[in-house]
Structure 1
């Protein structure tokens, strides 16, 4: 579970707004391809299964 405000710091110093990315993809899941949904499901995102 990741909150919308969560920001992940990558080793190179880059900040990634992971919470916003996940929220956007979840709300647009009906427009994702089967391959994209399968890749997200393999990462453990239950809503993509």
Structure 2
């Protein structure tokens, strides 16, 4: 369960992201594109495209 009290940091991805990647593709984007651990206590916010 997601609770905001457990969040260490919030990361915002600028620009649009293809949300058809599913959760595995988005986790890979966090890991490879940003060099961050997708399983850390952080919130990763992405925006889908039109």
The answer to whether the superposition gives a TM-score over 0.5 is: no
More relative contact order in 1 or in 2 (CA 8 Å, sep 6+)?
Answer: 2
**Which structure has the larger Rg?**
1
Q: Which protein is richer in helix relative to its size?
A: 1
